[in-house]
Amino acid sequence: MSKEIENKLKEVLLTVRNPSRYTGGELNSVVKDREKVDVRFAFCFPDTYDVGMSHIGMKILYSLKNSRENWWCERVFSPWDDFEQVMRDNDIPLYALESLDPIKEFDFIGFTIQYELCYTTILNMLDLAGLPVRVSDRSDTDPVIVAGGPCVCNPEPLCDFIDLFIMGEGEEVNMELLDLYERMKKSGTYSKEAFLEKAAQIEGIYVPRFYDVSYGKDGVITSVTPNRDNIPPRVKKRIIKDFDNVFYPESFVVPFGEIVHDRAVVEVLRGCIRGCRFCQAGFIYRPFREKSTDTVCKEVKSLCESTGYEEVSLSSLSTSDFSDIENMLAKITDYTEGERISLALPSMRIDRFSEEIAQQLIKVKKNGLTFAPEAGTQRLRDVINKNITEEEIMRSCTIAFLAGYSQVKLYFMIGLPDERDEDITGITDLAVRIADLYYNLKNRSKGQKLQISISCATFVPKPFTPFQFEPQITSEEINRRQRLLLDSAKGKRYISISYHNYKVSLLEAVLAKGDRRIAPVIERAWRSGCRLGSWDEMFDYDKWERAFSAEGISTDFYAHRAIAYDETTAWDHLDYLVDKSFLIRENKKAYEASTTPNCRERCSGCGVSKAVGGKCFE
Amino acid sequence: MNKTTVRMTFEKSGRAIYTSHLDVVRTMQRAIKRAKLPVWYTEGYNPKIYLNFPLALSLGVESSCEPMEMAVVEDMPLEEMTRRLNGTLPDGMRILDCRYPKNTNKDIGFAEYEIAFSPAHAAAEAFDPFVAQEKIEIKKFTKKKTELIVDIKPYAMVLEKDLSDSLFSIYIRLPAGNNMNLNAGVFSGAFLSFAESSGKKLSCICTKRTKILCKNGDIFA
């Protein structure tokens, strides 16, 4: 352990909030002898410990890298602003939690990028580490800065700061990348440049400096081309073909303090069969693959035993689409009930909410019930391809009410393509019909008050979705539609309505669809103090607005402009296996309110099946 | 077998001192689960491992005497329970002793602390006039948020002082338990501000709870 940092920490830790998140030393954290390791990897989550420690991808890659005896992967999170100030005042550089060593001395610094609002936190963490934030200002001996996660499907706004991006699923490609590094270091052939050039030839690795972008007079991208030989013109994302046998940790680090998702998590499936047209995850994680019931049960048991958690969650984009769901839940509850462990199913689709599942869920602990119809009318649900009917919503609510639930949370989006005023008031109409259903149910448990919470997000167009071409609605228009919804729900006391901050959604749209010209804005926003933007109390749009105007960048161009089908987008040179022609087809179908069946029912030819050898399903 | 109460004494040191009381409870519950101790769970919607901590420890304070009570529903030798739990606790937390309780929580009357200050000589110089004061007054906030001035001098008993090159340590006994509870931090805080008012900038390097005593002076067991 780095004595110098340890001693400094002793002097300051009691002056900051929740100090246990800065000490390391948690159960199951991996400590190795630094003299005996060849590759050191600082795995950074660009948000606070409480958020980052809840992230499953980090847990997987942490355990996987540490399974190599001579590699040491450690965890790093962003300090909260009180501790950041203390670190800066006392010259404590950003350190890794296992060794307390400064991450500036590591071989790799890797970020997982889960949402756009953390971009400035990445810069802040590099700066706290004592490194220049720009690629061009770092030296050959500085660590290689890498990044992965869903946001890197369009990494262009971050190209000035990150050396290489890892596209798609990380279990194989991370190992290949570190193997290459170790080989080059050992043979003495390593230089950062030589390493990056070799790395760029690994499928799934994108090294932005080897690509040139040119722009037309109207500001639209005209081409993205490699600027040297041996660099692939398009970079293809990686997928794990044999998902049932993919590495999964047998234990998690167990934090001292309470974190956001303080429980054991088993990933039961990857990808999604649904194809909701607004949902980026539904496209970039294709194809759909699931683990076997036996594998899931085995992983649940081993994680619960190694962590002592009192709750386990079955995680995925849509856990109810697991083909053997009822049998699996029965088997798992057999184990969890005996051990007094409660089971959480965070991603349930409304149309799959059966009586049996409700019963299983309620056995150990009553969790709140959340559904996401996303749109208020059937027509708009068809536009976005959320293939749920009102009948299914009502049936699920009936089951839930009969099982004893009286609180329902419904998620909607406002500002969807082709949205009309009757779709907005339709949200209230739907809530009213759910309330009628509740009060007319004879067998529901009495004495509880019905509560319907409606939570509305603003639609954000995202890359690699059929709605990537769509403009986001303006601030005036979102205000008008929000007022319309509030007016329609007046006097209905069982309904409560909440909104997401529009400025957050606007910024998400710009950063999600942005190109390399956004980088100076990100840097300027960070220098003016923007970081930890996913926290309401830290989000400061005024600073962003000043950064945009100082750099002469228009948010309208990125957020409110429709993209033509034949325009070259900032991410067209990245291949997420879904064909652009498919996205265009789906976009056209949206305007006809025409739905596309789910992948299990019928293949819609999105292009992904080619990558898995012809067929996603047997 | 009916449930039987067992009292363990644990140590809190190193990085574990930054774990708050609530988090210690959670950490213990998980460690007990991993250790598969045959413990009793509370009843109701969210069954939890029953644990009782008679005297919460402030954040940042070390201890070599933290009591914790649980209920056991199957026979298991006490040594075996200690061995198992020590196998699943994180660094800095260790079970020192496990027994069937002799005392009840109500018996607790005092706790003893070792508190170290630096710079050593300045602290040693300031300490004698500090305790020689007629009154040692601190501000306390009542539940109604009104300020209350309390003289803590009659409650604090200085047992020993120790001066080394780098540290000045004191050993004190303070009232603890249900009737009157005085935090070690309050005492050292009063000393630090006393020293500061005479121009000495001191810092409290570490605080350690060393003993919990019954009202009659016996070790709480």
Is A367 at the interface with chain B, CB within 8 A? no
What is the pLDDT of chain B when averaged over all its residues?
Answer: 92
Average pLDDT for residues B51-70, to the nearest whole number? 95
Average pLDDT for residues A584-607, to the nearest whole number? 95
Please name the residues in contact with B3: beta carbons below 8 A apart, sequence gap of 6 or more.
B40, B71, B72, B73
Closest-CA distance, B216 to chain A, in angstroms, reads 34
**Cα A465 to Cα A28, A200, A469, A505, distances in angstroms:** 39, 26, 8, 17
How many beta-carbon contacts under 8 Å exist across A and B? 70
Unique residue bearing structure tokens 């739990």:
B85
Average pLDDT for residues A574-579, to the nearest whole number? 97
In angstroms, the CA A366 to CA A165 distance is 41
Backbone φ, ψ for residue A126 (5° rounding): -60, -40
Residue B6 has pLDDT above 90, yes or no: yes
Question: Within 13 Å of residue B83, how many CA atoms lie on the same side as its CB?
Answer: 5
Neighbours of B201 (CB within 10 A): 9
CB pair distance less than 8 Å for A25 and B19: no
Is B21 at the interface with chain A, CB within 8 A? no
> Taking Cα atoms as reference points, which of B128, B118, B119 lies closest to residue B194?
B128
Neighbours of A234 (CB within 10 A): 11
CA angle A444, A445, A449 (to 5 degrees): 100
Chain B residues with beta carbon closer than 8 angstroms to that of A307: 30, 34
Question: Within 13 Å of residue B214, how many CA atoms lie on the same side as its CB?
Answer: 12
Chain A residues with beta carbon closer than 8 angstroms to that of B89: 27
Is A368 at the interface with chain B, CB within 8 A? no
Provide the percentage of residues in chain B whose pLDDT is more than 90: 81
Is A216 at the interface with chain B, CB within 8 A? no
What is the pLDDT of chain A when averaged over all its residues?
Answer: 93
- Nearest-CB residue to A19 (from B18, B89, B92): B18
Is B34 at the interface with chain A, CB within 8 A? yes
CA angle B189, B195, B197 (to 5 degrees): 105
At A190, list the tokens.
């390593």
CB pair distance less than 8 Å for B90 and A305: no
Is B31 at the interface with chain A, CB within 8 A? yes
Under DSSP, the state recorded for B77 is -
Backbone φ, ψ for residue A313 (5° rounding): -120, 140
Is the bond into B119 cis (omega within 30 degrees of 0)?
yes
Give A297: exposed, middle or buried? Use CB within 10 Å, 0-12, 13-18, 19+. middle
Is A3 at the interface with chain B, CB within 8 A? no
Q: Parallel, antiparallel, or unpaired for β A574-575 and A235-236? A: parallel
Is B43 at the interface with chain A, CB within 8 A? no
In angstroms, the CA A445 to CA B152 distance is 56
Is A143 at the interface with chain B, CB within 8 A? no
**Chain B residue with minimum CA distance to A303:** B34
pLDDT in the model for residue A23: 94
3-state secondary structure of A548: helix
CB A293 within 8 A of CB A269: no
Residue A300 has pLDDT above 70, yes or no: yes
B contact test, residue of A99, A256, A303 with most B CBs within 10 A? A256
Closest-CA distance, A261 to chain B, in angstroms, reads 14
3-state secondary structure of B54: coil
A86 dihedral zone (left: phi>0; alpha: psi -120 to 50; beta): alpha
Is B52 at the interface with chain A, CB within 8 A? no
pLDDT in the model for residue A442: 82
Cα A324 to the center of its chain, rounded Å: 26
pLDDT in the model for residue A348: 63
Chain A residues with beta carbon closer than 8 angstroms to that of B22: 258
- Nearest-CB residue to B15 (from A23, A258, A342): A23
pLDDT in the model for residue B209: 97
At A214, list the tokens.
């040119």
CB pair distance less than 8 Å for B31 and A26: no
Residue A363 has pLDDT above 50, yes or no: no
Residue A207 has pLDDT above 60, yes or no: yes
Chain B residues with beta carbon closer than 8 angstroms to that of A25: 14-16, 90-92
Average pLDDT for residues B17-27, to the nearest whole number? 94
Strand blocks (E) in A99-140: 108-112
Q: What domains are there in chain B, each with its CATH number?
A: 4-101 (3.30.70.580), 106-214 (3.30.70)
For residue B8, the cross-strand partners are B68, B98
For residue B5, the cross-strand partners are B71
pLDDT in the model for residue A357: 61
Is B201 at the interface with chain A, CB within 8 A? no
> Taking Cα atoms as reference points, which of A263, A275, A437, A445 lies closest to residue A336?
A263
CB pair distance less than 8 Å for A308 and B30: yes
Provide the percentage of residues in chain A whose pLDDT is more than 90: 81
3-state secondary structure of B180: coil
Each residue of A27-55: pLDDT tens digit? 999 999 999 999 999 999 999 999 999 99
CB pair distance less than 8 Å for A256 and B27: yes
Concatenated DSSP letters of A215-266? E-TTS-EEEEEESSTT--SSEEPB--S-GGGS---S---B-SS--TT-SEEE
Average pLDDT for residues A322-343, to the nearest whole number? 90
Is B100 at the interface with chain A, CB within 8 A? no
Residue A2 has pLDDT above 80, yes or no: no
**Cα A486 to Cα A379, A495, A496, A504, distances in angstroms:** 21, 10, 9, 21
In angstroms, the CA B110 to CA B121 distance is 29
Closest-CA distance, B82 to chain A, in angstroms, reads 17
In angstroms, the CA A614 to CA A612 distance is 6
Each residue of A57-111: pLDDT tens digit? 999 999 999 999 999 999 999 999 999 999 999 999 999 999 999 999 999 999 9
pLDDT in the model for residue A403: 76
Q: What domains are there in chain A, each with its CATH number?
A: 3-236 (3.40.50.280), 240-367 (3.30.750.210)
Residue A464 has pLDDT above 50, yes or no: yes
Average pLDDT for residues A609-613, to the nearest whole number? 83
Is the bond into A287 cis (omega within 30 degrees of 0)?
yes
3-state secondary structure of B91: coil
Each residue of B174-193: pLDDT tens digit? 999 988 889 999 999 999 99
> Taking Cα atoms as reference points, which of A236, A307, A341 lies closest to residue A59?
A307
- Nearest-CB residue to A366 (from B20, B33, B45): B45
Residue A355 has pLDDT above 90, yes or no: no
Is A110 at the interface with chain B, CB within 8 A? no
pLDDT in the model for residue A358: 59
Closest-CA distance, A29 to chain B, in angstroms, reads 10
The residue count for chain A: 618
For residue A413, the cross-strand partners are A457
CB pair distance less than 8 Å for A27 and B88: yes
3-state secondary structure of A417: coil
Residue A552 one-letter amino acid? G
Neighbours of A226 (CB within 10 A): 17
The band of A364, judged by pLDDT with boundaries at 50, 70 and 90, is: very low
Each residue of A116-154: pLDDT tens digit? 999 999 999 999 999 999 999 999 999 999 999 999 999
Residue A438 has pLDDT above 80, yes or no: yes
In angstroms, the CA A147 to CA A317 distance is 22
In angstroms, the CA A592 to CA B166 distance is 80
B:70-89 residues touching chain A, CB 8 A cutoff: 88-89
B contact test, residue of A3, A23, A86 with most B CBs within 10 A? A23
At A30, list the tokens.
């991996």
Chain B residues with beta carbon closer than 8 angstroms to that of A14: 18, 59-60
pLDDT in the model for residue A350: 56
CB pair distance less than 8 Å for B20 and A20: yes
In angstroms, the CA A43 to CA A479 distance is 40
At A29, list the tokens.
């954290």
Backbone φ, ψ for residue B214 (5° rounding): -80, 170
Please name the residues in contact with A183: beta carbons below 8 A apart, sequence gap of 6 or more.
none
CB pair distance less than 8 Å for B15 and A24: yes
- The residue that leads in pLDDT, A90 or A443, is A90
Chain B residues with beta carbon closer than 8 angstroms to that of A251: none
Average pLDDT for residues B92-107, to the nearest whole number? 95
